[in-house]
Structure 1
Amino acid sequence: MTDQSNTFTLVDPIKGNLAFKLFSFENNSYFDHLQRNNYFSIIWIKEGSGKLKSDFSSYSFDTDTLLAFAPYQPFMLSTDKPIKGVSIQFHPDFFCIHKHHKEVSCSGVLFDNIYHPPYVKVDTTSAATFNLIINQVKAEIPNDGLAQYEILVSYLKIFLITASRLKTEQQVMAKMPDDANKEPFILQNLKEAIEEHYKTRHSASDYADLLNISAKALARITKTHFNKTISNLIAERIIIEAKRELYLTNKPVKEIAWELGYEDEYYFSRFFKTNADVSPQLYRDTVGFNRMADLAIN
């Protein structure tokens, strides 16, 4: 455990890597260059505004915005007004959101949500909860006492659940004005089609045919509502599933590739590296479990 001013860090005693970190920031020096971290990152912008570049898209953010990024998800912040806030970082070995999905339900909401921006607006009630949790974490980390890990994980769970609930509520509210609009109906069909067929259908034209709409029209609607191309959405969905398999299982890369519709393991590996910036094996080595024994222990 290290504690330097407003930085609180726990290091994995076995691997020597970051396990959990909480720190305050007074400027954008930490995030002004491309980030591709092998851990989850949560950034609460308490003051300031600017632009977020993440994956294939760009978004605006302002005061009281919570940003959330999965391991190796690229992001970078540029500012219009100086930013201040708090960041929480944790490795999947410290807390695996995939294994604890039923408890926190943040996978597909806060993280790995290909259809919504990677942020949520923080209201007054949630801000009070977040501040309380952050203060509890700051008080707990220096103790290094009995069941410290379990306590910190409990605080992290509450933080993630609160943020996930908030984002879910905001997504529901955002959809309401468009109920009478035909486009959201088409987009819902597109989401369902991608979820059903992403392992076997990898081209944008496949989904235009499935939805009985021209490829050009579907591309325009998708870009307008998701700020991404259909190919982006398909690629992101495949990568999310590949990461999940690399993390949670000990399947060979060749088997994962085949299950995702790629007969050529090397083509799949190039596709994965292009979209995740690391090879499947390096992702497994730095983020996921590499042995079934690890799964049994954890």
Structure 2
Amino acid sequence: MKKTQIPHFGLYGESSWINDPEFFHIEDIEDRSSNLGWKISPHRHAQLFQILILKSGQAKVQLDDQQQNLLGAWAIIVPAGVVHSFHFAPDTDGRVISIAEPLLEDAYQEKAARFIKPLLSQACHINFNGNRNNFSELWPLIQQLESESSYIREDRALMSEYLIKAILLILHRQKQKNGVESAAEVTESSRIQRLKELIEGHFREHWSTQDYAQALGTSTSRLNRLSKASFSKSVLELVHERLLIEAKRSLIYTARSVDEISYDLGFKDPGYFSRFFKRATGMPPGKFRVLSNQMSI
């Protein structure tokens, strides 16, 4: 039976948040999932980034409403708040790195910010199968981070922070090699990161483009040009996209009624919410829920 809320965890299965701004955790995929039938059920983390590094094996990955079957060497980026689940093939070899958001705050003020911050801004899969040389550079860093987590040392947090940054930079390089994102797009997305943060904080309030422009101290036309250059979408389209993601999450992973979801997302009229959803997806929310349930069986 579906729950009324999507579960939040510190780490998977551990409901309490670990209140440590320097917290990071690394574990073997087998250690976490083998006694669960190699399955991790849908959940999300409020204040943790996660990076899954698959060295070998196979995984069925769901990030919000998107599913992928991954074989071989991959990295999977899971930002805070993204609903995710995994079904690994037995004997899949890999690691899960969980990072507290405050641990990366310093990195966001450094030269590395224009590479790291956009990388962690949205869920993605990074394919290493075509470039094992890059993976051979990545894996020793993973092993070193694992070693650091095993000992209590005076400089443990600092060494771990450097290793995590190095890991993220290699992931950025590989993402670039795969042609997922051009250098210009990285620069533009980092320049308007504040816009995405504002949307995350206010999408339920249905702010107008003018509201976002005023908060950023710019004009609506200039902000729309910047948004379209970076995302090929207007500010309003970004807001609607964020509303749609949250609507899909609630329809797939909770048992709340369409009316309850509508009000939770700031729609005063459930009928308008249903029209908004159908216009975006081609089907009403009730039908989307039924089809999603059938696909997950």
Deviation of 1:157 after TM superposition, in Å, equals 0.2
The question of 1:135 aligning with 2:130 is answered no
- 2:148 touches 2:156 (CA, 8 Å); kept in 1? yes
Which letter maps to 1:271?
Answer: L
- 2:27 touches 2:96 (CA, 8 Å); kept in 1? yes
Counterpart in 2 of 1:96? Answer: 105
In the aligned structure 1, how far is the partner of 2:104 from the partner of 2:263?
27
Deviation of 1:112 after TM superposition, in Å, equals 2.3
Match of 1:121 among 120, 127, 131: 127
Q: Which has the higher contact order (CA 8 A, sep 6+)?
A: 2
C-alpha spacing 1:78/1:168, structure 2 compared with 1 (3 Å): same
Unaligned 5+ segments in structure 2 are 1-17, 183-191, 200-206, 211-223, 225-232, 247-260, 267-297
Deviation of 1:144 after TM superposition, in Å, equals 2.4
In the aligned structure 2, how far is the partner of 1:232 from the partner of 1:125?
40
Normalized against structure 1, the TM-score is what? 0.50
- 2:61 touches 2:87 (CA, 8 Å); kept in 1? yes
The question of 1:74 aligning with 2:80 is answered no
Normalized against structure 2, the TM-score is what? 0.51
In the aligned structure 2, how far is the partner of 1:24 from the partner of 1:91?
18
Deviation of 1:154 after TM superposition, in Å, equals 0.3
Deviation of 1:151 after TM superposition, in Å, equals 0.9
Counterpart in 2 of 1:23? Answer: 27
In the aligned structure 2, how far is the partner of 1:97 from the partner of 1:51?
34
- 1:21 touches 1:90 (CA, 8 Å); kept in 2? yes
Counterpart in 1 of 2:66? Answer: 57
Deviation of 1:99 after TM superposition, in Å, equals 2.9
Which residues of 2 match residues 106-185 of structure 1 at below 5 A? 106-109=116-119, 111-113=120-122, 118-122=124-128, 123-171=131-179
C-alpha spacing 1:60/1:134, structure 2 compared with 1 (3 Å): same
C-alpha spacing 1:97/1:147, structure 2 compared with 1 (3 Å): closer
Which letter maps to 1:162?
Answer: I
Unaligned 5+ segments in structure 1 are 1-13, 176-191, 203-209, 211-221, 223-228, 239-266, 273-298
Deviation of 1:52 after TM superposition, in Å, equals 1.6
Deviation of 1:40 after TM superposition, in Å, equals 0.8
Q: Deviations over 1:169-224 (max 9, x none)?
A: 2125x89xxxxxxxxxxxxxxxx9xx79x76359xxxxxxx9xxxxxxxxxxx9xx
Deviation of 1:120 after TM superposition, in Å, equals 0.1
SS class of match (1:145): coil
In the aligned structure 1, how far is the partner of 2:241 from the partner of 2:107?
20
SS class of match (1:171): coil
Counterpart in 2 of 1:282? Answer: none
SS class of match (1:107): helix
The question of 1:86 aligning with 2:95 is answered yes
Deviation of 1:103 after TM superposition, in Å, equals 1.4
Q: Deviations over 1:7-65 (max 9, x none)?
A: xxxxxxx9368811111122563652012123111111222224221123222211101
The question of 1:271 aligning with 2:279 is answered no
In the aligned structure 1, how far is the partner of 2:111 from the partner of 2:263?
30
What is the number of equivalent residue pairs in this alignment? 187
Deviation of 1:168 after TM superposition, in Å, equals 2.1
C-alpha spacing 1:46/1:97, structure 2 compared with 1 (3 Å): farther
Q: Percent identity?
A: 11
In the aligned structure 2, how far is the partner of 1:80 from the partner of 1:139?
26
Which letter maps to 2:66?
Answer: S
In the aligned structure 2, how far is the partner of 1:98 from the partner of 1:65?
24
In the aligned structure 2, how far is the partner of 1:15 from the partner of 1:135?
25
In the aligned structure 2, how far is the partner of 1:95 from the partner of 1:269?
34
Which letter maps to 1:56?
Answer: D
In the aligned structure 2, how far is the partner of 1:141 from the partner of 1:71?
22
SS class of match (1:146): coil
